[in-house]
Structure 1
């Protein structure tokens, strides 16, 4: 037998490669997760923007401050000028003026999954930006990170390897036999007013084996375990966003059974579009099989969203045109375009909505923000259409 041109890679060399990779990750996290600090939201809004967000005039806001119904905004110690309103202040104004957009008590919170079995399609980017857009509008949002890669958890300021205990703070205990009976144990506040998080880390991957083992051992239908857990907390929120793993596994199937609605992010290229076609086929056949065991499960809406769109690439334009024709009314009208702003924000474990200062005043940032706002508005309208109490308001706005 002739010798190989390339020498074999030994386990010791793989261990060394893994150690070097961990060193790089540690340095990145040391830069982002400074010891003893917590991520904070530095957004401030002037009175004109506050009035638009609250739905009342700036005159009414000033009057409420003068009358003591609202606290006056903080002032700079040196200049004495107002520093602007925080999102917490905005929500306090909404409460005083009665303009919080919370669902009516008889409406159900929407459980929305951003799902595709292929990675790299913009799933976590959508979850983080849509959740923050809705929080800016005043909705009560819960984000459940179901992906052991924990990208969403990291963006919300938590180091998955240090800050999260998979035995107490992720979905993993809930999926175990004899685990907690509701999800309240895992809920945690975030630095974003109005957003709660159930975090993830690598240990959540063990839940795949736990669920598979329970399927084999138990007579009950464990695929609805996540849905039952969400039912235990949904009264506290207007929308619950699920970020599942990019694979057809037990957790992904649980997400499909738990969700009321699905958005499928799809970049307009041949590989990703083909993967989405396979995803939809697999989802349909798998749900049909699960229906035979656990009963029917319908969705309030299923929409496809073009992501990472580059208008300068003719192939992207052609495939997007084909997607519009094939999926017709099932496509979201808005598009998430390929943007360096998202890449720059992600590199610092941020979102575009968190960027402040000079970087938030560039034309590139404004264009990217417009794309994200358009997606958020469309999701918000779809969410409101699932609430019977919104029928009259939506009709007045010409949205029905």
Structure 2
């Protein structure tokens, strides 16, 4: 019998959840065509390709003429070149020896985009950074550790249909007696150079699995993810981790597995206050974990101002305060608030995937400039950790 003081029962909550599922299903029907695979339609003209490869246009045409590179595709109606795909640009880099891969002796960068506060731009940063690095020719793996699976969706997978938590996510790896390596979960994506370990809602159960294992097993279970990443790291230059926005077992595992951190922090009172709490909690937690599993260090830890709105005076005040308090810890680049990011995400796209007339608007160009600046600064930080890149960085005047 319903209590009149509490008219909303578990049955009503279940009905509310079911109605929410209907909305999600309709959204997914709009964005995910049955059996359709997402494709990258971005093409580069010969001038852009030469800049990306680091060789002249003549060198590219000569390589095509002598057979070292295939002839580019041409429009059957006009006979004009249709441009080069990213895969074809990477083939050029391979022929000319300009792929930027780390040397075998360099450590793979395991970079977590970490903040216990939700809505700060973690997935946005992760996806765009992965694609920026792929455009530069790096081998990237993205591990979606968040059961909300925003990053998985952005890479064209329907978490409810295309992803099985018992086969495709981190969940079986975290179970007792699970796989010895993460190779089972690696998926190629439509972005050349980017592999993905996806997530879905079932990954949330891993939090309980972890807690149970800690209670019954000897050894430091929280380093399980670190060991899994080591099992695949030889295939990649950069491994990006997108953890859940909470202080849980998976987030702690991410902190233990990463060797670099980027902390997204919008410059408003609530979000930056939460970021300050996150940094304090992270410090205390890592010290506590170090007593049991040994100390962990990072190549770099940087705070990135996200969702910055120059029209808001409060944002400017807090950003100046952040720069003053963290003079060595802030990234110089800022990811500004942009409708371009929101509009692209509404269609499960990144800004780097927008083509045609929409890519020629001033709004798009500004947003692309912000994203490129963030990616470029993080790329330099990564390269500084690779001894094989030091000579080139000195030549570029960076070291």
TM superposition score normalised by structure 1: 0.98
2:86 aligned residue: 87
Q: What is the CA distance between 1:127 and its match in structure 2?
A: 0.2
Q: Give the aligned length.
A: 397
Pair 1:360-2:349 in alignment: no
Within 5 Å, give how 1:12-51 maps onto structure 2: 12-51=11-50
Within 5 Å, give how 1:97-246 maps onto structure 2: 97-246=96-245
Q: What is the CA distance between 1:14 and its match in structure 2?
A: 2.3
1:294 aligned residue: 293
Deviations 1:32-69 (A, max 9, x none): 11002100000000000000000000011011111111
Once residues 7 and 169 of structure 1 are traced to their aligned partners in structure 2, the CA distance between those partners, rounded to angstroms, is 41
2:344 aligned residue: 345
Within 5 Å, give how 1:44-83 maps onto structure 2: 44-83=43-82
Once residues 128 and 163 of structure 1 are traced to their aligned partners in structure 2, the CA distance between those partners, rounded to angstroms, is 19
Once residues 368 and 166 of structure 2 are traced to their aligned partners in structure 1, the CA distance between those partners, rounded to angstroms, is 38
Q: What is the CA distance between 1:7 and its match in structure 2?
A: 7.2
Deviations 1:153-192 (A, max 9, x none): 0000000010001001100000000000100000010000
SS state of the match for residue 111, structure 1?
strand
1:316 aligned residue: 315
Deviations 1:65-88 (A, max 9, x none): 111110011111222211110000
Once residues 310 and 394 of structure 1 are traced to their aligned partners in structure 2, the CA distance between those partners, rounded to angstroms, is 33
Moved more, 17-26 or 169-178: 17-26
SS state of the match for residue 68, structure 2?
coil
Question: Is the CA contact (8 Å cut-off) linking 1:108 and 1:235 kept in structure 2?
Answer: no
Once residues 390 and 190 of structure 1 are traced to their aligned partners in structure 2, the CA distance between those partners, rounded to angstroms, is 27
Once residues 288 and 13 of structure 1 are traced to their aligned partners in structure 2, the CA distance between those partners, rounded to angstroms, is 44
TM superposition score normalised by structure 2: 0.98
Once residues 139 and 347 of structure 1 are traced to their aligned partners in structure 2, the CA distance between those partners, rounded to angstroms, is 27
1:381 aligned residue: 380
Deviations 1:113-169 (A, max 9, x none): 000000000000000000000000000000000000000000000000100010011
Within 5 Å, give how 1:279-290 maps onto structure 2: 279-290=278-289
SS state of the match for residue 348, structure 2?
coil
SS state of the match for residue 64, structure 1?
helix
SS state of the match for residue 112, structure 1?
strand
Alignment RMSD: 1.1
SS state of the match for residue 161, structure 2?
helix
Moved more, 156-165 or 75-84: 75-84
Unaligned runs of 5+ in 2: none
Once residues 7 and 165 of structure 1 are traced to their aligned partners in structure 2, the CA distance between those partners, rounded to angstroms, is 38
Once residues 126 and 227 of structure 1 are traced to their aligned partners in structure 2, the CA distance between those partners, rounded to angstroms, is 22
Unaligned runs of 5+ in 1: none
